[in-house]
Amino acid sequence: MSSIIENLKWRYATKKFDANKKISKENLEELLEGVQLSASSYGLQPYQIFVIENPEIREKLKAAAWNQTQLIDASQVIVFANHKKLDEAYVDNYIKNIAETRNLKVEDLEGMADMIKNSTLQLPEDKQNEWAQKQAYLALGFLLTMAADLKIDVCPMEGFSAEEFDQILGLEEKGLHTAVIACIGYRSEKDDYQHAAKVRKSTEDLFNFI
């Protein structure tokens, strides 16, 4: 069995973190680099990621997450905030980044830029927001997998008031909206969930070969 499969079987949504255990700077950087490499439609990454360590802000976020203790006990809180609406400037900056990274001319990428703009910017604002949220969830998936490989515990969470998170973190004025969050750190020995058998659909129930 591959190590990644073993580590994915090891991971679970940690309900109680050990508040005395913190992720090392090196491991945090490696974890975030894995998230940075997440798959994303067109590579646009229409989101920002906030790594919350400030205890005062985390107390406020805890209150906006129905006082779930993970927000305080975890080593860090990761907030995935998607852009509610994209514009031509966002796509142009992305195209410029491609050109600089791959030593190309921006003019040579005009066809790609037009294709991206025609398929994303033409969407109604609510559909853009929905699409961008899905991209943020892809990044969350990379976080979960990377963390499992590093034996870092994660609790992905949707149980919070996104509007209150937006207000606390000043996201509204940045055109951002909280899509999903994840608490990261190390499981407490008192978290009984770590001993529960992992329950998933059987291969027969899940996979369909056509």
In the Cβ-directed half-sphere of 90, how many Cα atoms lie within 13 Å?
17
Per-residue pLDDT averaged across 123-148, rounded? 98
Rounded to two decimals, the pTM is 0.96
pLDDT in tens, 31-65: 999 999 999 999 999 999 999 999 999 999 999 99
Per-residue pLDDT averaged across 84-107, rounded? 98
Q: Are strands 47-52 and 176-185 parallel, antiparallel or unpaired?
A: unpaired
Domain segments of the chain as ranges: 16-34+48-83+148-194
Task: Evaluate whether 135 touches 46 at the Cβ level (below 8 Å).
Answer: yes
Which class would CATH give 16-34+48-83+148-194?
A: alpha beta
pLDDT class of 6 with cuts at 50, 70, 90: very high
pLDDT class of 2 with cuts at 50, 70, 90: confident
Task: Evaluate whether 153 touches 189 at the Cβ level (below 8 Å).
Answer: no
Per-residue pLDDT averaged across 103-108, rounded? 98
Per-residue pLDDT averaged across 104-121, rounded? 97
% of residues, the chain, pLDDT over 70: 100
pLDDT class of 175 with cuts at 50, 70, 90: very high
Q: Which two tokens stand for residue 63?
A: 């209150």
Among 73, 71, 72, 77, which residue's Cα sits nearest to residue 28?
A: 77
% of residues, the chain, pLDDT over 90: 99
Q: What is the pLDDT of residue 1?
A: 62
